[in-house]
Structure 1
Amino acid sequence: MSDDRENWLKPILEPLRSVMRELLIASLFINLMALAVPIFVMQVYDRVIGHNGLATLQGLTIGVALLLGFDWVIRTSRGRIMQTMALRIDVDVGTRLFDKMTHLPLRSLESRPASFWQTLFRDVDTIRNTVSGATAILLTDLPFVFIFLGVIFVIGRPLALVFVVLLAAFALLAWASGRSVSEATGKEKNVQTGRDALIAEIIAGRATVKAVALDGALRPLWEERQADAIEQSIRRGATADGFVNLGQTLTMLGSVALTTVGALFIIDHELSMGALIACNMLSGRLYGPINQLVGAWKGFSSFRQSVDRLGDVFAESEERRDSGLRRERPTGRIVLENVTFAYDPASPPAARIERLEIRPGGLTAILGRNGSGKTTLLKILLGLYPPAEGRVLLDGADIAQFTRTELAGWIGYVPQECVLFNATIRDNIAYGAPGCDDEAILAAARTAGVHHYIVDLPDGYATPIGEAGSRLSAGQRQRIAIARALIGDPPVLLLDEPSASLDRQAEEELRATLAELGQSRTVVIVTHSPVLLPICRDVVVLDKGAITAAGPAAETLNRLFGPRPAPSPAGLHISVGGAT
């Protein structure tokens, strides 16, 4: 593991040093008290049974009972120490990961599937369980193996060589299993990630899968990935089980060897019966941690992979957290100067704009064929996609020097696919400005034209909307998303195809809403709707990421598509040709 990937974890573990010292002290006492039972058995065999020492037996029994009670207290205390460590690691790592994700640029989030980000939070669980679980206890017990080895040298010196040989054999086995199991675990994790990514896509698009009956087409792909995952899991399991079984066999061989050699020394009167039995009991404490280490390598490997994966994410550059300039609420004048943006350095630019000025107030429509860069332009205006070259100015100030929170407060955004959360209507609107009062929520809902829909619901603003707003119509979801964008009273509002999923009546209601919003805000909409275009003051036409026409709507549309017919009572209907 590289130092760069480990560095993020050190500041989190550093405050836990005192807790770790307490853990080591508790483990020391627990391991020392583990000597009580073998020594008790040895004394009973050597001093009680052979000499009818009932008084000695009584004293030994009372003493070992007191030690066992103290052992229970220490083990309980160690358990609480481990819970404290788990809680602090969960809070520190989980909070840091959430903060990092929310401050990563949108392109970084889009570059990986949703299943990857879900895996990161499972990695937090892996790190917590490793640092504060059974694995941590195993690591704290390992150093005390030498204490047991020293006691064996004292009470059963003739058997010391047997223990040293067996200890070296267990250490070699643990080293070999670590290399093999780590490699197998890495391969298993990779194929499982691919399978989980496919499952996440199927679940996200479950309505389409059912509607188009895609199960037949997706089943072979899932079976292939599932088969790969099962195969790698079997290989990893076979590798791990092989080493575990070998360790158990070595344990039994060690017991046989120890008993055989001990019997020879007893016959030669160089070892007592009690010492042999005690050494046999201590052998379990001696080999146990190392034998557990053989089976624990999967956990260690997963821990290293989790630390590496989180380290890669934590090392990525993030959006600005502190504003480089303090300013009042802007008027909404936006200027793009020599802006170039590409999704991939090797691909052609998705946007090439020498200059574009969007005047404050009124509505500006963005037109263009599919793939012409309309949505990309909106995200550039919002600062979600920082340009590789050039700059975006808001009232003369480069938006790159403002934080995401400030830009979100000044520029409201309604994407084409409105994402709502499984909460109440009130909560979904309030997410746009955490801490806002009910008056601000009502004002935003009225401005977005959704208040009269909400009050007709049985629970009003307290109505749960279901996952992704599944209990609402497309038009209601669109209006709630607009209300959420308006809750902070932003001077700029960006909307991507706001009428794409609306019927004619809802579209005409939206037109009236946008016309009212345009009187006090700069509204930029991606649309080809003949209902919405007549209320637009300016029009920008894109083709392959470049501006082919821009200016007042009447003049630009007339030049592109010819004279427009007079509006009908239902709204003006114009043809925009291939600009769809």
Structure 2
Amino acid sequence: MSDTTNDLDIRGREPRLAPWLAQPMRANRPIYLRVALAALFINLFALTTSLFTMTVYDRVLPNNATESLIALSIGMGFVIIFDIVLKLLRGYFTDFAGARVDRSIGSSVFGRLLSLRLENRKGSTGALTGLMRELETLRDFFASATIASIVDVPFALITLALIFVIGGPVVLVPICIIPLVILSGWLLQPVLDRLSAKAMKDGLGKQSVLVETIGGLETVKASGAAPMLERRWDAALQDHASVSMRQRLVSNLAVTLAQAGQMMSYIGVVIVGVSRIETGDLSMGGLLACSILAGRAVAPLTQLTQLLSRMAATRTAYAQIDRMMQAESEDNDERRLDPGAMRGELELRDVSFTYPGGAKALDGVSFRIEPGEKVAIIGRVGSGKSTIARLLLGLYAAEEGAVLVDGTEVRQFEPHALRARIGSAMQETVLFSGTVRDNITLSRPGIDDDEMLRAARLSGTHEFMAAIPNGYERLLADRGEGLSGGQRQSIAMARALAGSPPVLLLDEPTSAMDTQGEAQLLDRLEAEIADKTMVVITHRTPFLRLVDRVIVVDRGKIIADGKRDAVIARLRGPAAAQDGNITTAALQAGGKS
């Protein structure tokens, strides 16, 4: 099985109730008070059953008091009706509060996921997806199951008091059983904690394999990777099924012991009660009432044991989600600057950067791009070109040096405001499920249909969208499946151009386009970028006609930087590209010259 979940350390500090969970719970306090009030009457009504039974056996039967029985039955009928109504209300209030808590927590966690700094992201996509699914466990435990169970526990004392009033020493039986029930659940908690942690880790591993397979199903089929993934899936299934079975066995053991305690309490009350009947200290009706109440006294503790068996899994999920919530994010309490009307000056000052767990991507890189300048960054695969783009967008923070936009370090800007003023098309073209219109506009303010169509015509998207009956309302599958690579890049380019941002940051924007489509795009872009700053990362020589300056990067360092024609002349020669690409050999030649 894949080790992608190793970074998701399940064990960790003992979780506390963090604000992101505590605040929604406190906000719904009035609703929970109504739940508690309904539970009060429900438990009081439950006591009437035993009192009804005692009265019938001790008063109605000996005196053949049929009229009294009718009156008692009518009274119990009203009690049953009110009990049904109150139970429905309690369920409604509990679910209503749970839904509100679920929305609040879900919004907070999803917002933190979106603002999480990329260098703090750990685990695979599948593992993170599985982690988000655990929100349902938290919601159900804290907002539903816990409230219903805990509210009923204090009424065990009222039940014991009533047993004492009716049967005297008989109450000692449930008093002795209750600690045993609690102790059995408490002793099994360490085992449940370990199994829950292992079950969650294996579950995330299984989710990781599943998401990885579904997301790349076409590649899996084309490359023949199915046997490898089947082996991973089978291993993940086996591991998860094994630990889940052990977890269920221990949980069932705790619940079974609690139910056995409930039965022992009932039997013990009957045994002790018979001896008191013989001495005349207890009536037959009193014995029946005490036996019923004994079961009622232990029942809340049985529910509490079930709750404890679920607590281990909930605590594990909570600790992991809280660790993500506590991780450093782009959104913090510090006041950030708004870039305002951006001039488009970009600069890296002696920047070094290393990806988590990887080799150094940039080593002392420095350059400055003036407002309105058009610059191409070229280099071999893995030389650090795309890393420069990510740093300029503030997706990662430089380990050393400074990344500046308009003379200000990018970390001082509000991230969303900064990126709204930089039109970016990254190397990996990602489209979202939804319409083509949604993928271009992204619900950004100020981008209406006219602006969308303008950007679509510039990028070439309108050429193939205009001929489709539903056009821009066409629904796309995940990642734009069903479109060619060039069409996906065209939509991504339209997304970058929409809103006419003052800075364009393009990473291999035409790598999947045909020669004719690329040439037409370049013709349309010439007028569009006239007053804009543009940084393009490319291996395609045709794109170089739009730039004034070329920066060559190799192994994280700048090996050439100057006017386009001068740098290209150094790259020309026997090793230069003949197919429209800047080859590795050409770059090596350029680096040595």
Equivalent of residue 101 in structure 1, options 97, 110, 113: 113
Q: 2:238 aligns to what?
A: 227
CA distance in 1, matches of 2:583, 2:91: 73
Q: 2:490 aligns to what?
A: 479
State the Cα distance separating 1:434 from its structure 2 match. Answer: 4.0
- Could you state the TM-score of these two structures normalised by the residue count of structure 2? 0.91
**Paired residues for 1:294-373 under 5 Å:** 294-320=305-331, 324-344=336-356, 348-373=359-384
State the Cα distance separating 1:529 from its structure 2 match. Answer: 1.3
CA distance in 1, matches of 2:119, 2:167: 66
CA distance in 2, matches of 1:512, 1:171: 78
- Could you state the TM-score of these two structures normalised by the residue count of structure 1? 0.93
After superposition, the C-alpha distances for 1:492-531 in whole angstroms (9 at most, x for unaligned) are 1111112222222222223324434432322212211133
Equivalent of residue 447 in structure 2, options 415, 420, 436: 436
State whether residues 20 and 108 of structure 2, in contact with CA within 8 Å, keep that contact through their aligned partners in structure 1: no
- The residue type paired with residue 577 of structure 1 is A
What secondary structure does 1:390 align onto? Answer: strand
CA distance in 2, matches of 1:54, 1:573: 102
State whether residues 418 and 478 of structure 1, in contact with CA within 8 Å, keep that contact through their aligned partners in structure 2: yes
CA distance in 1, matches of 2:225, 2:521: 35
Equivalent of residue 400 in structure 1, options 399, 406, 411: 411
State the Cα distance separating 1:337 from its structure 2 match. Answer: 0.9
Is 1:263–2:274 an aligned residue pair?
Answer: yes
After superposition, the C-alpha distances for 1:453-502 in whole angstroms (9 at most, x for unaligned) are 21111111111122211132211111111111121211111111122222
Q: 1:71 aligns to what?
A: 83
State the Cα distance separating 1:435 from its structure 2 match. Answer: 5.6
**Paired residues for 1:198-209 under 5 Å:** 198-209=209-220
Q: 1:28 aligns to what?
A: 40
- The residue type paired with residue 498 of structure 1 is P
Is 1:191–2:202 an aligned residue pair?
Answer: yes
State whether residues 504 and 533 of structure 2, in contact with CA within 8 Å, keep that contact through their aligned partners in structure 1: yes
CA distance in 2, matches of 1:560, 1:54: 110
Equivalent of residue 531 in structure 1, options 542, 550, 557: 542
Is 1:92–2:104 an aligned residue pair?
Answer: yes
Is there any run of 5+ residues in structure 2 with no aligned partner, and where? 1-12, 589-593
- The residue type paired with residue 62 of structure 2 is G
State whether residues 350 and 364 of structure 2, in contact with CA within 8 Å, keep that contact through their aligned partners in structure 1: yes
What secondary structure does 1:8 align onto? Answer: helix
CA distance in 2, matches of 1:572, 1:194: 43
State the Cα distance separating 1:37 from its structure 2 match. Answer: 0.9
Is 1:148–2:159 an aligned residue pair?
Answer: yes
State the Cα distance separating 1:425 from its structure 2 match. Answer: 1.0
State whether residues 185 and 309 of structure 2, in contact with CA within 8 Å, keep that contact through their aligned partners in structure 1: no
State the Cα distance separating 1:576 from its structure 2 match. Answer: 5.6
CA distance in 1, matches of 2:549, 2:123: 37
State the Cα distance separating 1:354 from its structure 2 match. Answer: 4.2
CA distance in 1, matches of 2:389, 2:339: 23
CA distance in 2, matches of 1:329, 1:20: 50
State the Cα distance separating 1:159 from its structure 2 match. Answer: 1.1
After superposition, the C-alpha distances for 1:138-159 in whole angstroms (9 at most, x for unaligned) are 1110111111111101111131
Equivalent of residue 55 in structure 1, options 67, 74, 82: 67
Q: 2:481 aligns to what?
A: 470
CA distance in 2, matches of 1:243, 1:117: 31
Q: 2:143 aligns to what?
A: 132
State the Cα distance separating 1:43 from its structure 2 match. Answer: 0.3
Q: 1:577 aligns to what?
A: 585
State the Cα distance separating 1:258 from its structure 2 match. Answer: 2.3
CA distance in 1, matches of 2:525, 2:52: 87
After superposition, the C-alpha distances for 1:211-248 in whole angstroms (9 at most, x for unaligned) are 11211122222222211111101111121222333333
Structure 1 residues 524-533 or 372-381, which shifts more? 524-533
What secondary structure does 2:401 align onto? Answer: strand
CA distance in 1, matches of 2:581, 2:159: 90
Distance change (3 Å), C-alpha of 1:86 and 1:361: same
Structure 1 residues 465-474 or 290-299, which shifts more? 290-299
State the Cα distance separating 1:272 from its structure 2 match. Answer: 0.9
CA distance in 1, matches of 2:111, 2:210: 26
- The residue type paired with residue 217 of structure 1 is M
CA distance in 2, matches of 1:249, 1:70: 31
State the Cα distance separating 1:366 from its structure 2 match. Answer: 1.4
State the Cα distance separating 1:174 from its structure 2 match. Answer: 2.1
What secondary structure does 2:376 align onto? Answer: strand
Structure 1 residues 230-239 or 514-523, which shifts more? 514-523
Is there any run of 5+ residues in structure 1 with no aligned partner, and where? none
CA distance in 1, matches of 2:137, 2:84: 28
CA distance in 1, matches of 2:98, 2:253: 32
Structure 1 residues 203-212 or 181-190, which shifts more? 181-190
What secondary structure does 1:510 align onto? Answer: helix
- The residue type paired with residue 53 of structure 2 is V
RMSD of aligned alpha carbons:
2.4
What secondary structure does 2:310 align onto? Answer: helix
CA distance in 1, matches of 2:585, 2:524: 26
After superposition, the C-alpha distances for 1:62-96 in whole angstroms (9 at most, x for unaligned) are 22222222222222221221122112201211111
Equivalent of residue 295 in structure 2, options 268, 278, 284: 284
CA distance in 2, matches of 1:73, 1:342: 63
Q: 2:7 aligns to what?
A: none
Q: 1:244 aligns to what?
A: 255
State whether residues 185 and 298 of structure 1, in contact with CA within 8 Å, keep that contact through their aligned partners in structure 2: no
What secondary structure does 2:39 align onto? Answer: helix
CA distance in 2, matches of 1:355, 1:432: 36
After superposition, the C-alpha distances for 1:31-77 in whole angstroms (9 at most, x for unaligned) are 11111111001100000001111222122112222222222222222
CA distance in 1, matches of 2:92, 2:582: 72
What secondary structure does 1:303 align onto? Answer: helix
Equivalences, count: 575
- The residue type paired with residue 319 of structure 2 is D
CA distance in 1, matches of 2:519, 2:575: 19
What secondary structure does 1:324 align onto? Answer: coil
- The residue type paired with residue 571 of structure 2 is L
Identity %: 34
After superposition, the C-alpha distances for 1:229-278 in whole angstroms (9 at most, x for unaligned) are 11101111121222333333333333332222222222222211111111
What secondary structure does 2:64 align onto? Answer: coil
State the Cα distance separating 1:172 from its structure 2 match. Answer: 1.3
State whether residues 339 and 389 of structure 1, in contact with CA within 8 Å, keep that contact through their aligned partners in structure 2: yes
Q: 2:126 aligns to what?
A: 115
What secondary structure does 2:541 align onto? Answer: coil
- The residue type paired with residue 168 of structure 2 is R
CA distance in 2, matches of 1:220, 1:466: 28
Is 1:556–2:567 an aligned residue pair?
Answer: yes
Distance change (3 Å), C-alpha of 1:202 and 1:575: closer
What secondary structure does 2:337 align onto? Answer: coil
Q: 2:424 aligns to what?
A: 413
What secondary structure does 1:72 align onto? Answer: helix
